[in-house]
Amino acid sequence: MTSINFLLVDDEKPFIEAIARRLRQRGFIVDCAFTGVAALNILEKNDTIDVVVLDVKMPGLDGIQTLEKLKKKHPLIEVIMLTGHATIPSVIKTLKSGAFDYLMKPCDLNDLISKAKQAASRKKEREAKIFDVRIKLYISEQERSEMISKILDS
């Protein structure tokens, strides 16, 4: 697998900078944002992001709101939620909103990398399936849209 492009999003700047430094030392490409709005702005300009690591609790646009906006605009990007205060309802809400998975803070770097590899693999598989649907010659646009929707919902 090629390198994973990360976007780390958390209002705790030292925490995110430490994770970013450790990921870069392992050869990953990493961008950082310290608000949900900043993360969405980065995603508008950078179409190479594979995995977003997103804190649930942030001032302003919180992690769940950011996740919902992100998945509407960029449905293929996989999101791993970070939380220091996991509750069953919040975990269920994030997963229903499209998160790939979640981790508790502070997270083990190897666990994060393992989940990110799984998430990036899922993204690439879904991109390949969508490509295959888009190049089918003898289906209608409606059939094409329905097939792509099923891929995105899987």
Instruction: Give the pLDDT of residue 2.
Output: 57
Q: What is the CATH number of the domain that holds 16?
A: 3.40.50.2300
144 lies in some domain: no
Secondary structure element (H or E) that encloses residue 88, with its range: helix 88-96
Which whole-number Å values give the CA distances from 40 to 11, 34, 47, 75, 108, in the listed order? 14, 11, 11, 13, 26
Instruction: Give the pLDDT of residue 98.
Output: 86
Secondary structure element (H or E) that encloses residue 101, with its range: strand 101-104
152 lies in some domain: no
55 lies in some domain: yes
Averaged pLDDT for residues 12-33: 94
Q: Which of 82, 81, 73 is nearest to 43 (CA)?
A: 73
Q: pTM (2 decimals)?
A: 0.89
Instruction: Give the pLDDT of residue 1.
Output: 46
Tell me what percent of the residues of the chain surpass a pLDDT of 70: 97
Compute the mean pLDDT over every residue in the chain, rounded to the nearest whole number.
90
Q: Tokens at residue 76, please?
A: 């293929």
pLDDT digits (tens, 9 = 90+) for 70-96: 999 999 999 999 887 766 777 777 778
What range does the domain containing 60 cover? 5-124
Which has the minimum average pLDDT: 4-8, 84-88, 142-146? Answer: 84-88
109 lies in some domain: yes
Length reported for the chain: 154
77 lies in some domain: yes
Counting the structural domains of the chain, the total is 1
Instruction: Give the pLDDT of residue 106.
Output: 83
Tell me what percent of the residues of the chain surpass a pLDDT of 90: 68
pLDDT band at 105 (very low <50, low <70, confident <90, very high): confident
51 lies in some domain: yes
27 lies in some domain: yes
135 lies in some domain: no
